[in-house]
Structure 1
């Protein structure tokens, strides 16, 4: 649908008159022409109309596209909602992105391709040095900014665990400053869950279990706040690893709790990946 057509659809379904929606923004005649002929109007006028219709710009775009996300948004969502590194799942947004780029010049989707390729390399080879090659191209561009925007934050958050620990700790501070700017926007603090989880793994790899425990406790609190059970399970397993390596006897209880959550919500692929993680890092059994 075009803008005018979509606005007409929303207005009619809400039962509002043209006069009411047009308000002080434009004459009723100009508004009627906009709806019927899809004529162009100022962006500020469109925003005023959406406000009168009680519809956000995001919801408007979703309705306008036939109650679907755009192709670009679908690709980004597939990547950003990936809970654990999975070659098969990563291949789909990568293939879609490569097709999309044949007809569109899009920096963000180019970054998506680089990130997917890096994560596939890591999944297939376990070679983190090789996986970083493409990621540095993404980070080189983003690091030039004084402030990260929403998609930037998602990208950095998604690849944080591939950086060396001290670099990742500095990147985390940078990202948190940007997240704080968006603190009242779309539950953006959910991203702090992934960030804390990623930092936990990096710290575990360096045997810095007390610091890892602090990170994972922060993540657990956020997971409970947002009812994010998949990530809560990851947190519990990593908490158990930390406690066991610190020679605290309750570690295995937390590992069992994490596994049980994943079994209960039928996330067996994630469970298999995490069991491998437990075998590698759970040194004190």
Structure 2
């Protein structure tokens, strides 16, 4: 992979910007020349100043720098979301092998492989019973996941993703305590577009678990947060989950109109081609109606 300076030079020349226009007041002429040749680095602070001259966000710059490819993190979670929601174990097993081959030297193997293994066990159980999770998860997998969660001190988007993907293994008491601390951190990401999808998925998974753990007030609190995170047009998919769970909670509170509203949300998932989500929502509603 080329140096940051070489990437900046490529962007600069493609945009027809002269060196002195881009670097004036930021880098000397000689340093800028060496930087663009990949012979010198600059601090992150100076790189931001350079990118502001284009203007360009850091996310876009890194995307270009990687050859118009997403990061390891983006590739892993995007792939897991697609493959993991298909009730077919073989693609998931192939994905595990591809991850180990593609990112053989990754520093994140432990947590990410645990998520894949957990999803494989989830789907194995779901395929045979029609239920989302049971007591079939290997104790070692459970313990390793819980240990990783306990070690988290300051939560980041990566931690939100991990928590969301393994939430079914978290004790309901521990989960309640986690969210008492997490909601403040979550709210700080309201204006960070790259985090919204991650947080919406976490909230959706947690709302579902709280509902079936008879923690309706906790579910309502997270629903309020989900409502705030899904008002933008880019969050329409998650917005439909908000309407679904809001309808489910209303039904549990005695509002029978919630049943039809939940069915409407299921239809929307189906019409948009999200068959797995439609099936999952239908299974949730069916279970609610038997409570």
TM-score (norm 2): 0.81
Q: Residue 98 of structure 1 aligns with which residue?
A: 100
Instruction: Report the Cα distance in structure 1 between the residues aligned to 2:138 and 2:101, rounded to whole angstroms.
Output: 24
Q: Is the 8 A contact 1:115 1:159 kept in 2?
A: yes
Q: Which of residues 186, 190, 197 in structure 1 aligns to 2:193?
A: 186
C-alpha displacement of 1:87: 4.9
Q: Residue 121 of structure 1 aligns with which residue?
A: 121
Aligned 1:31-42 pairs, distance under 5 A: 31-35=32-36, 37-42=37-42
Instruction: Report the Cα distance in structure 2 between the residues aligned to 1:55 and 1:277, rounded to whole angstroms.
Output: 43
Instruction: Specify the SS of the correspondent of 2:112.
Output: helix
State the aligned residue count. Answer: 281
Q: Residue 111 of structure 1 aligns with which residue?
A: 111
Distance 1:72 1:43, change over 3 A: same
Instruction: Report the Cα distance in structure 1 between the residues aligned to 2:225 and 2:186, rounded to whole angstroms.
Output: 15
C-alpha displacement of 1:135: 4.7
The RMSD of aligned alpha carbons is 3.0
Q: List runs of 5+ in structure 1 lacking aligned partners.
A: none
Distance 1:272 1:49, change over 3 A: same
Q: Is the 8 A contact 1:160 1:198 kept in 2?
A: yes
Instruction: Specify the SS of the correspondent of 1:19.
Output: helix
Instruction: Report the Cα distance in structure 2 between the residues aligned to 1:193 and 1:72, rounded to whole angstroms.
Output: 17
Aligned 1:9-24 pairs, distance under 5 A: 9-24=10-25
Aligned 1:157-168 pairs, distance under 5 A: 157-168=164-175
Q: Residue 46 of structure 1 aligns with which residue?
A: 47
Instruction: Report the Cα distance in structure 2 between the residues aligned to 1:195 and 1:132, rounded to whole angstroms.
Output: 23
C-alpha displacement of 1:28: 1.5
1:239 aligns to 2:246 (yes or no): yes
Instruction: Report the Cα distance in structure 2 between the residues aligned to 1:213 and 1:115, rounded to whole angstroms.
Output: 27
Q: List runs of 5+ in structure 2 lacking aligned partners.
A: 126-131
